[in-house]
């Protein structure tokens, strides 16, 4: 595909939404209408270009975020289709991290759903300018205006309609150009616009008013015109909407139906008109090695800065996806970066590729603004900032979530242990939300992930890609510990004196207090400033040793050897005894004091609590509610829509294991649910 001459003609955008809203179906249209692909592949036929993994085609869902490119009106759109299922939320997180804007897709019948709120939060964290596409307007019960109201009320942002879908006429009204648009041809590929008839124009008066007011809010010149009852010029409206969108003050909205090929091309125009080019974005924040913050302005001048945001095995080999923020990159270039463990690493890029879903094409240069695939890197991993040697800095790392569900695994007969370990290492490198742990008591190996679907898909892939059969045990839910009350402890570390008189005898004393914090309070360590004897001070190595000892003691609590959280540890007194109070001695005293305090503070187990949403046909509502109650769920409320009822609840994860099967039988396969980790809490 031809590269546009200028970065101003590039749009890097993500498509995100609740499960099944139609992201992949929409992306397939984008590829077709832009000429990037010659036919439309449908998700329900297992033929979508973007859902290229075998597991995606079998399950009919998106699992990995796939990148593709499409040309539109002299611009290059780089589009990332993300998965909607919460178990794969890391894919949305890291896509949003490296993109410049996004399209959020809504189901026109369901409006704002739980995952819509989650992706909205993710998008807001990165302040991504956003367009909405209200999809599935062909379905009975779809309602464009109601969806916009839900956006305003639940996402607290200003939705501004640009096109309005007319359900019965398979057309959309463009409120900026005052046109009525039809999509003709077998797959809606020909756009035919005519002036909007007066009666229709009146029908959309309310939405047109909101558009003018939103534009007037951004541009004072327009405000005078609108107040005087004049009709603003399309170009002036576009300029105001662009400004408002880039500033995050409003979100242009489009309506249509991806499946019925309705309303997609105007959305593409909107991407070009309203979403930012890489250099329209605020500079990325980074820090130098000494912690001094710096701003990285997107551009080709200056030493290389790129963010590795994903590791993917391609034909069994390790590849790294990266976005270039500054400078340029060529095959053979040397890179330097700081790993998550804080070590400086050097390595070379062997090859560079342009990526289109499941295909890659070799290229000989990548520059600021681009998203590329790198081969030959053995160490660079998700979240690392790749720099030109001698110019080290780090962009903010990508947030991952702790896996809450585990599955005991062992190789089936005939599969060898060593190969299993090798494969597990590979899949873990790709997926930062996956972890392999060994239970020190039983020697059992545990594969931990985000949920049942996540683990199931990982096991299917291991079997398909590596031909490994794995036996699994019952799923095990992750646990944490906390404390219920305040406790204090005072510990002296004084091992038997050193027999070598030239060596000092180790000795140190630490007194501390621990207090429960509110849920989600994390683990905090506070330093009191009392050091005995009077006038003595702790050096950096001594403080670091105490800190490390406290953290490692909190990593395995007294009840279940699970991490302790929602606690505050306050060091009240540290006593040093000359040379004998080495960092090791102080660490040992701190850890002894903390263990004693934890025992006294009524330690308690905490379990994962999930936010639950179930969508069920009205006829099964009673049965579904009864079943949820038997699983000790706390029901918050129900929202009826035209064809179904959404139930909002929270519940512990454990009783929800296997819920997919139960819901299927309660609703004859028509129910849907989403489970999202909320917090660890006491039962
Ligand atoms: N009636 C109707 N169905 C649609 C429309 N768009 C998508 N669908 C159907 O909705 C289902 C889900 O579509 P996908 O495109 O896979 O949805 P998705 O958002 O990519 O789903 P995940 O990636 O799994 O989160 C498929 O069966 C589509 O055919 C639409 O405009 N109208
Ligand atoms: Mg999809």
- Closest protein CA for atom 13 of ligand 1: 22
For 513-539, write each residue's pLDDT tens digit: 999 999 989 999 999 878 888 888 888
405-476 with 605-682: one CATH topology? yes
Nearest CA to ligand 1 atom 12: 20
Using CA atoms, how far residue 626 sits from 190, 609, 620, 641, in Å, is 51, 19, 10, 20
User: Ligand 1: which residue has its CA nearest to atom 24?
Assistant: 61
Q: How many residues are there in the chain?
A: 683
Please state which CATH number belongs to domain 605-682. 3.30.70.240
If one counts every other C-beta atom within 10 angstroms of the C-beta of residue 71, the result is: 16
The CATH H-level (homologous superfamily) assignment of domain 8-280 is P-loop containing nucleotide triphosphate hydrolases (3.40.50.300)
Residue written as tokens 């409120």?
Answer: 175
Nearest atom within ligand 1 for CA of residue 27: 15
Name the strand (E) or helix (H) holding 309: strand 305-314
State the distance from the centre of ligand 1 to the C-alpha of 25, rounded, in angstroms.
6
Ligand 1: residue of 14, 19, 20, 135 to mutate (most ligand atoms within 8 A of CB) is: 20
Nearest atom of ligand 1 to the alpha carbon of 82: 23
Given 3.30.360.10, 1.25.40.10, 3.40.50.1580, 3.30.70.870, which CATH number is that of 405-476? 3.30.70.870
As a CATH number, domain 485-601 is 3.30.230.10
The CA distance from 413 to 646, in Å, is: 45
| Residue to mutate, 16, 24, 83, 676, ligand 1, most ligand atoms under 8 Å from C-beta | 24
DSSP alpha helix (H) spans, 475-608 = 540-554, 583-600
Q: Classify 384 as helix, strand or coil.
A: coil
Closest-lying ligand 1 atom to the alpha carbon of residue 28: 15
Largest CA distance in the chain: 102
pLDDT at 669: 85
Candidate from 17, 22, 95, 673 with most ligand 1 atoms within 8 A of CB, to mutate? 22
The atom number, within ligand 1, closest to the CA of 60 reads: 16
DSSP 3-state of 434: coil
pLDDT at 437: 85
The alpha-carbon radius of gyration of the chain (Å, integer) is 28
Q: Output the CA 95–ligand 2 centroid distance in Å.
A: 14
Residue 356: its pLDDT value, please?
Answer: 79
Opening angle at CA 349, ends 340 and 352, nearest 5: 115
Beta strands in 55-162 (DSSP E): 66-72, 75-81, 101-107, 130-135, 159-161
pLDDT tens for residues 60-82? 888 888 888 889 999 999 999 99
Q: How far is the CA of 83 from the centre of ligand 2 (A)?
A: 5
Q: Distance from the CA of 20 to the center of ligand 1, in angstroms?
A: 5
List the chain domain ranges. Answer: 8-280, 284-395, 405-476, 485-601, 605-682
C-beta of residue 240 within 8 angstroms of C-beta of residue 222 = yes
Global confidence as pTM: 0.85
With CA atoms as reference, report the closest residue to 368 among 322, 319, 333, 337: 322
Centre of ligand 1 from the C-alpha of residue 148, in Å: 20
For 79, which DSSP code? E
Q: Is 605 exposed, middle or buried (0-12, 13-18, 19+ CB in 10 A)?
A: middle
Give the atom of ligand 1 at the shortest distance from the alpha carbon of 262. 31
Question: Can you count the helices (H) and strands (E) in the chain?
Answer: 16, 38
Number of alpha carbons in the 13 Å side-chain half-sphere of residue 233:
4
Ligand 1, CB within 6 Å, residue ranges: 17, 19-25, 43-44, 61-62, 83-85, 135-136, 138-139, 257-260
User: What digits encode the pLDDT tens for the residues 391-438?
Assistant: 999 998 887 777 889 898 888 876 678 888 888 888 888 888 999 988
List of the chain residues with pLDDT < 50:
1
Indicate the class that CATH gives domain 284-395.
mainly beta
């Amino acid at each position: 595909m031809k590269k546009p001459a200028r970065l101003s003609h590039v749009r890097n955008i993500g498509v995100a939404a609740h499960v099944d809203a139609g992201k992949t179906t929409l992306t397939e249209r984008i590829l077709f209408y832009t000429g990037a692909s010659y036919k439309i592949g449908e998700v329900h036929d297992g033929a979508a270009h973007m859902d290229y993994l075998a597991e995606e085609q079998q399950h009919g869902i998106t699992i990995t975020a796939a990148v593709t490119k499409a040309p539109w009106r002299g611009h290059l759109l780089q589009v990332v289709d993300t998965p909607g299922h919460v178990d794969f939320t890391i894919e949305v997180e890291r896509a949003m991290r490296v993109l410049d804007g996004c399209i959020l897709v809504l189901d026109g019948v369901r409006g704002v759903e739980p995952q819509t709120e989650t992706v909205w939060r993710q998008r807001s964290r990165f302040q991504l300018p956003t367009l909405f596409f209200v999809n599935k307007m062909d379905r009975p019960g779809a309602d464009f205006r109601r969806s916009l109201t839900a956006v305003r009320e639940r996402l607290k942002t200003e939705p501004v309609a640009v096109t309005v879908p007319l359900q019965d006429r398979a057309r959309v009204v463009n409120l900026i150009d005052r046109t009525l648009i039809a999509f003709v041809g077998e797959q809606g590929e020909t756009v035919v616009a005519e002036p909007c008839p007066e009666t229709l124009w009146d029908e959309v008066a309310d939405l047109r008013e909101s558009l003018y007011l939103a534009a007037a809010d951004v541009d004072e010149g327009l405000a005078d015109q609108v107040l005087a009852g004049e009709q603003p010029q399309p170009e002036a409206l576009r300029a105001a909407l662009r400004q408002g969108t880039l500033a995050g003050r409003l979100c242009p909205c489009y309506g249509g139906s991806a499946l019925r090929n309705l309303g997609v091309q105007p959305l593409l125009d909107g991407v070009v008109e309203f979403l930012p080019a890489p250099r329209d974005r605020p500079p990325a924040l980074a820090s130098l090695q000494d912690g001094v913050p710096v701003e990285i302005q997107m551009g080709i001048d200056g030493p290389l800065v790129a963010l590795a945001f994903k590791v993917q095995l391609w034909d069994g080999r390790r590849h790294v996806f990266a976005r270039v923020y500054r400078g340029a990159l060529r095959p053979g270039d040397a890179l330097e970066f700081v790993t998550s463990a804080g070590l400086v690493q050097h390595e070379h890029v062997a090859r560079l590729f342009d990526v289109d879903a499941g295909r890659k094409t070799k290229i000989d240069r990548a520059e600021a603004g681009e998203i590329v695939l790198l081969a030959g890197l053995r160490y660079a991993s998700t979240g690392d900032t790749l720099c030109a040697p001698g110019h080290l800095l780090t962009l903010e790392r990508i947030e991952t979530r702790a896996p809450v569900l585990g599955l005991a695994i062992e190789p089936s007969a005939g599969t060898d242990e060593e190969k299993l370990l090798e494969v597990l290492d590979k899949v873990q490198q790709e997926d930062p939300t996956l972890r392999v742990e060994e239970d020190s008591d039983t020697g059992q190996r545990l594969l931990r992930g985000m949920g049942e679907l996540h683990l199931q898909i990982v096991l299917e892939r291991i079997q398909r890609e590596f031909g490994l059969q794995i036996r699994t045990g019952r799923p095990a839910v992750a646990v944490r510990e906390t404390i219920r009350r305040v406790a204090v402890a005072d510990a002296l570390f004084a091992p038997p004196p050193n027999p070598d008189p030239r060596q000092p005898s180790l000795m140190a004393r630490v007194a501390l207090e621990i207090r429960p914090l509110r849920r989600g309070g994390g683990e905090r360590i506070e330093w009191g400033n009392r050091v005995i004897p009077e006038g003595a001070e702790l050096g950096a190595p001594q403080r670091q040793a105490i800190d490390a000892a406290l953290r490692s003691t909190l990593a395995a609590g007294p009840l279940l050897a699970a991490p302790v959280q929602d606690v505050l540890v306050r060091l009240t007194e540290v006593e040093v005894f000359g040379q004998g109070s080495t960092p090791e001695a102080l660490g040992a005293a701190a850890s002894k004091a903390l263990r004693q305090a934890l025992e006294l503070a009524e330690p308690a187990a905490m379990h994962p609590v999930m936010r639950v949403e179930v969508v069920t046909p009205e006829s099964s509502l009673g049965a579904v509610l009864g079943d949820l109650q038997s699983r000790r769920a706390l029901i918050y409320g129900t929202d009826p829509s035209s064809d179904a009822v959404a139930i909002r609840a929270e519940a512990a994860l454990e009783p929800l294991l296997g819920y997919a099967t139960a819901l299927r039988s309660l609703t004859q396969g028509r129910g849907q649910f989403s489970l999202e980790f909320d917090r660890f809490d006491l039962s």
